[in-house]
Structure 1
Amino acid sequence: MKIKILGTGCPKCNQLEAVTREALQELGIDAEVQKVKDINEIMAYPVMMTPALVINEKVVLSGKVPGKSEVAALLQKAAAA
């Protein structure tokens, strides 16, 4: 599973990365997590606000920092697909 955190490095972007990594660890899912800070790369995705969470090249969340349970649900759904 490939995960990207889209954001320029703001505190919310860092918080989303931390929550995502915690959820992955608790679920025991092996994934490659990449932070995308380059604005041109971010603009290649259909997001209007950051931070955004991309799982396997699909934007699943943007514009907010979700709770760990919400991220875990998104990760489990992607892993089952």
Structure 2
Amino acid sequence: MKQIKVLGSGCRNCEITAKVINQAAAEAGVEIELEKVTDIAAIMGYGVISTPGVVVDGVVVHSGGVPGPAQARDWVRESPG
């Protein structure tokens, strides 16, 4: 199971990002564990300055905006990177 974290303050873009990822996983039939990280120190620990950020299996794959559906599908289907 893929572990995916959405890094951000809980703003609208962070919520949309989480929904895009959940929808992509559902469409792909892939089970994921989605966690929302709102602690600023934890977010900075990943080196993310611009949110929302996305971490897949411990690897930062995105930061600074809402990802597109195709991008999210790639994350739930493939290895990070």
TM-score scaled to structure 1, two decimals? 0.91
Q: CA deviation at 1:74?
A: 2.4
For 2:62, the equivalent position in structure 1 comes to 61
AA matched with 2:7: L
Runs of 4+ in structure 1 over 3 Å off: none
**Contact in 1 for aligned 2:32/2:76 (Cα 8 Å):** no
**Contact in 1 for aligned 2:5/2:36 (Cα 8 Å):** yes
Q: Which runs of 5+ in 2 are unaligned?
A: none
For 1:19, the equivalent position in structure 2 comes to 20
Deviates more, 1:66-75 or 1:21-30: 66-75
Deviates more, 1:61-70 or 1:15-24: 61-70
**Secondary structure in structure 2 of the residue aligned to 1:29:** coil
Provide the alpha-carbon RMSD of the alignment: 1.5
Give the 5 Å matches for 1:2-81. Answer: 2-78=3-79
Query: What number of residue pairs does the alignment pair up?
Result: 80
Q: Whole-Å Cα distance in 2 between the matches of residues 73 and 2 of structure 1?
A: 14
Q: Which runs of 5+ in 1 are unaligned?
A: none
Percent of aligned positions that are identical: 38
Q: Whole-Å Cα distance in 1 between the matches of residues 4 and 75 of structure 2?
A: 11
TM-score scaled to structure 2, two decimals? 0.91
Q: Whole-Å Cα distance in 2 between the matches of residues 12 and 78 of structure 1?
A: 24
